[in-house]
Amino acid sequence: MQFGGNGPSPTYCNCTQPIQTWYKNFGPRLGFAYSLDQKSVVRGSYGIYYSHAGGVGGRAGATGGTGQLGYSGGITAGSSNGGITPGYYLDSTNSAAPSFPLPPFIDPGNGTGFTTNPLYASNSPNGVTYADPYLSRRAPYYQNFNFGFQRELYKQAVLNIDYSGSIGHFLGTGVGRGIYSNQLDPKYYVLAGLLTSQASPANVAAAQAILPSFKLPFANFSPTATIAQALRPFPQFGGFNDIWGDVGNSNYNSLQLQLKQNFRHGLNYSVSYTWSKSLDDTGGSRSAYGVNGVPSSYVEYGLSGTDIPNHLAIYGIYNEGFGKSGGFWLTNQLIKNWSISTIFTYLSGTPITITGAGCNTPNAGTCYPNFNPNFTGPLRINGGYGRANLANFNKPYLDVNAFVAPAPYTFGNAPRSYTLGLRNPGGYSDDLSIRRSFGIYERLKFTFEGSLFNVDNHTDFRGPSTAWSSNSTSFGVVSAQANGSRTAQFSGRFDF
């Protein structure tokens, strides 16, 4: 452990702050537009955009630093009669207060354990929070770019065809960074059951017979700690948090179509459709060291958990033109000047991610199951998601037999996301509104509006449970609704 401030190295960092400012966050913006004729335009743009996250603020308590003090202090003083009188009084001389050494205790070994040294003998020592000196000062950024064509099809109606993309770097991720994850390197799994055994002389000798390069991390390593603990990158700590090790990447590409009609003959509408694909490596990972020599950022790169390939949005407003000017007053008030609007949206489902239980991989990352080589049926069963719930609320829609637990000390082969091409249920919303303003006197008017949400009162379901285990009764079960039931809302407002 290294302390802030100035003093003898390496105990002190001789720095004013643990995270230094990065001065190369350049954010250029480029764009162009070219008119092909009176009704056609092509345009494009490129820009680099930065976000607040990591050590530069906005995530994981960046405004308060790592929270790693490196020292502790306190007073222990008890009442002699069970709290009837105070243990001591704070008077003008403070003479009754027990004395104790003031922090900080400048000790690089503060909070460590797993040793035979009585000062650091704890088998449940502190964890340490590590701020990488380079990554902590790098803000997440995105390179956004687009190219599009716009054409007026007929009067006040415009068609847009656009490509839009984005590439992100230095994003928060659960993949992990080798030793900075403090996970156990998979190469040590050859020790099998010895990993969870105590580091006694006999067990150390047995481990060296299998792995001759094995040795205890330091001479006074505790014989009551495990072999696995001895093999971790930072065996003296109970945990290790690579707080701002943001090395995630993302890639987004989309085709965006829109037909928009401005008000004409009382009608205004827009129809938009987006076809997209989002990839990243910002989810979980089996091991921060990768699998079979392939880095974890490659192994776990796949569809984003938020990938929505299809998005349709339609809205329309119609100012109806019924009635004739100069007609009967009551008839005009009832049928003229009503505005009717509607919004419809559809979103396809996000990728399904199957996580497992029962993996025997000590000090590793996320547990994913294996595909069952003897399974021949479909993973999806029992029809549409949630459709059988009225008859059986515990009916599964994913077959638990499609997976098996990985062999001990091996990683599962199910992908991080989009398992067998499956997605959570998608959904749509349909809302309708009517609106009318009634003139009362001069500038005084009354506006009435009635809205109906979820017009057809349909049900969209949330995704099924994807936490797998061989005896799970909840795996694949849909247990919640994603939308609300039909709702009507009425409002009135006086304007003057």
Which pLDDT tens digit goes with each residue over 438-490? 878 888 988 899 999 999 999 899 999 999 998 898 999 998 889 999 999 99
322 falls in which pLDDT band (50, 70, 90)? low
Q: Quick one: what percent of the chain has pLDDT higher than 90?
A: 51
Q: What is the pLDDT of residues 323-357, one digit of tens each?
A: 555 556 666 666 777 889 999 999 999 999 999 88
* Contacts with 167 (C-beta within 8 Å, 6 or more apart), sequence order: 142, 143, 249, 250, 251, 252
Please count the CA atoms within 13 angstroms of the CA of 174 that sit on its side-chain side. 12
Q: Residue 162 and residue 98: Cα distance in Å, rounded?
A: 73
Task: For the chain, give percent helix, strand, coil, nearest 5.
Answer: 10, 35, 55
The answer to whether 152 and 39 have CB atoms below 8 angstroms apart is yes
Per-residue pLDDT of 62-100, as tens digits, reads 566 666 665 555 556 667 777 777 766 666 555 555 555
- Per the DSSP assignment, residues forming a β-bridge with 453 are 431, 487
285-312 pLDDT per residue, tens: 999 998 888 888 899 999 999 999 999 9
